Amino acid sequence: MSDNPDIRQAVVDTARRMYDIGLVVGTAGNVSGRQADGSIVMTPSSVPYVDISVDNLAVVDLDGEPVSGTARPSSEKAMHLACYNAFFEVGGVVHCHPRYGSMFALARKPIPVCIEEGIVYVGGDIAVSEYRMTGSDELAAEVVRHLGDRGAVLMANHGLLCVGHSPEDALHTAEVVEHTARVAHGAEALGGVVPLPAEIVESFANVYGLIRSGW
């Protein structure tokens, strides 16, 4: 199978931006993208973000078998592959540990999507999946269970996973989620989040559905 250099570069650029804006620290988190031939390009395991390049990405098929390169894929490979296998429209996956989103994940509380932008780009409130061990097939299955009509899911005591039509799009969703988590956290200190009217939530959720169907 031939590699798509555009997707490879998109994975590198997305990973570096994710690190630069503080959604991860150290070598935590991972990014992947689907190539035109169906193979998956993934950030390598335990490589500092400044050292990630198009030459040291891992490339695997949808069963996780190596396609090219010698890099060891992220330990969260199963979670990424589960998203691509479950949703043909997904072209990018981002897993990160944002500060405010992770607070909700550790408290095992969903993030209330109380702003219109969040519903348009995520689909609605962001659920917390049941706790499953990092890197396990059980976690992969649990995460996918929440992504049929959402662009993001929190992992209990862990972090955040977002899907999109490209790696850049998945990262944008992560940024929207973290912004929403931050303002929701602040709103709680002011007396609590006031939800949007139900008809508005439904209307904007339909917008998300239309956007996703066009990926």
Span 188-200, pLDDT tens digits: 999 999 999 999 9
Cα dist from 72 to 37, 68, 200, whole Å: 20, 11, 45
- Domain with 119 in it: 5-213
Residue 138: how many other CB atoms lie within 10 Å: 13
Residue 74: how many other CB atoms lie within 10 Å: 23
User: Of 97, 157, 101, which Cα lies nearest the Cα of 133?
Assistant: 157
Taking the model in full, what pTM does it have? Answer: 0.94
User: Domain holding 179: CATH number?
Assistant: 3.40.225.10
pLDDT reported for residue 6: 84
pLDDT reported for residue 3: 55
Q: Return all residues near 4 (Cβ < 8 A) that are at least 6 apart.
A: 35, 36, 37, 41
Q: How far apart are CA 173 and CA 2, in angstroms?
A: 29
- Spell out, as residue ranges, where the chain has pLDDT lower than 50: 1-2
Biggest alpha carbon distance in the chain? Answer: 56
Work out the angle at residue 49's Cα, subtended by the Cα atoms of residues 88 and 156, and round it to the nearest 5 degrees: 60
Q: How many residues does the chain have?
A: 215
pLDDT reported for residue 5: 65
Domains of the chain: total? 1
Q: How far apart are CA 56 and CA 155, in angstroms?
A: 28
Q: How far apart are CA 41 and CA 39, in angstroms?
A: 7
pLDDT reported for residue 2: 45
Q: Return all residues near 27 (Cβ < 8 A) that are at least 6 apart.
A: 46, 47, 48, 49
Portion of the chain with pLDDT greater than 90, in percent: 93
